[in-house]
Amino acid sequence: MSQEPIFRDVVIIGSGLAGLTAAHTMRQQGIEPLVLERESDLGASWDRRHPQLTLNTHRSLSALPGLSYPAGTGAFPKRSAVIAHLQAFQDRHQFEIRHDAAVSSISRADGRFNVETTVGTILASAVIVATGRDAVPVVPQWKGLETFTGRVLHAADFGDARAYQGRSVLVVGGGNSGFDVLNHLSRIETGPVWLALRNSTSVLPKRMCGFAVHRLSPLMASLPTRFADRLIGWTQRVAFGDLTRHGFPPGRFDAATRLARNQIAIAVDDGAVAAVKRGRIAVVGGVTEFGGATVTLSDGTTLAPDIVIVAVGYVSALTSLLGSLGVVDETGRPHLRGGLGETAVPGLWLVGMQPSLTSYFQQAQREAKHAARSIARMQRA
């Protein structure tokens, strides 16, 4: 790319599932976008995740537009199947993706966006940011953390579950990534495992009597939120009984409301709850501080795990990209108009930043369609 700024109608940042979906919907509107991707290959974000990862969402709801997974793919595709799916989509559509092009900032002047990248400046009438919501792992700055003599890692760095054989592990956080870690730990011979929870958690089984529960998600998503809360709460109770008997904090049964308001995704159980019931995993209170070999919990008791896995989530990296445009708060959470990725800056769209009851794939399609139609209207005007 030359050092002179080049002009493109539409620039998409990121070639993950959200960026590829956005490229597809733009082409359907007759506009060829330029996709900027900082990595050399497609699927790098999935490649960095742990090797035993399978999706929590059913394959029928986890596909890019118009492309199915090949015959023989399991109900919940493996990490490698997702990467192959992204590649197959790009092979079919041949979008213009510029790899090794990292965007450092986006600003606006004279009615156009200035996209600063490692390969030069690009001017664009519209920008779709699809850089991922799970971009930066969060590790709270607990008191004494730096003095802890055990190992502390984020769930993003979980790695191979077999490495935890014989080790005592404290998992902090019972959301999606906490349960993912516990599901895998429940299948190997670890030492004691604890789950530290500050609040109640919403959790659904991956399968019930062999049925993939996630297939009910379109029904749940079609209901008014308070009915979806009840259906999810009812499914949780039928699947697991009263979890407070096993140390979980009392449930609030407002999973759909929390997802819509606070973007807290519902955890998926694939063996962890049974391990809690068997006494292999103990549910304990939230972590308050660290010191030497011990971790102190909210009730004052202490534990001395070999390893602490922090599973309290991620934040986006939007602040550094979009800081000057006033569309992101200090925690990296975007201010969006409505539920479909629209920002207050005309021509700037975010795709893939919001979880949904169905899947990120489905939500990205809804957002990308809305963005592409609006951008096409804007360009025709």
Ligand X SMILES: Cc1cc2nc3c(=O)[nH]c(=O)nc-3n(C[C@H](O)[C@H](O)[C@H](O)COP(=O)(O)OP(=O)(O)OC[C@H]3O[C@@H](n4cnc5c(N)ncnc54)[C@H](O)[C@@H]3O)c2cc1C
Residues that bind ligand X (CB under 6 A): 13-19, 36-39, 44-45, 49, 53, 55-57, 62, 102-103, 130-132, 134, 177, 180, 321, 352, 359-361
- By beta-carbon proximity to ligand X, the closer residue of 154 and 229 is 154
- By beta-carbon proximity to ligand X, the closer residue of 290 and 361 is 361
- By beta-carbon proximity to ligand X, the closer residue of 214 and 284 is 214
CB of 1 to ligand X, least distance (A): 14
Please answer whether residues 43 and 86 qualify as being in contact, where contact means their C-beta atoms are separated by less than 8 angstroms. Answer: yes
Q: 155 by DSSP, 3-state: which?
A: helix
- By beta-carbon proximity to ligand X, the closer residue of 102 and 163 is 102
Map tokens 């993939």 to a residue. Answer: 212
- By beta-carbon proximity to ligand X, the closer residue of 148 and 158 is 158
Q: 95 by DSSP, 3-state: which?
A: coil
Alpha carbon distance 201, 266 (integer Å):
8
CB of 71 to ligand X, least distance (A): 21
Please answer whether residues 283 and 276 qualify as being in contact, where contact means their C-beta atoms are separated by less than 8 angstroms. Answer: yes
CB of 359 to ligand X, least distance (A): 3
Give the Cβ contact number of residue 366 at 10 Å. Answer: 18
Give the Cβ contact number of residue 216 at 10 Å. Answer: 17
Q: Which residue is nearest to ligand X (CB)?
A: 16
* DSSP state, residue 243: G
Q: What share of the chain is helix, strand, coil (3-state, %, to 5)?
A: 35, 25, 45
Beta bridge partners of 30: none
CB of 130 to ligand X, least distance (A): 5
CB of 91 to ligand X, least distance (A): 17
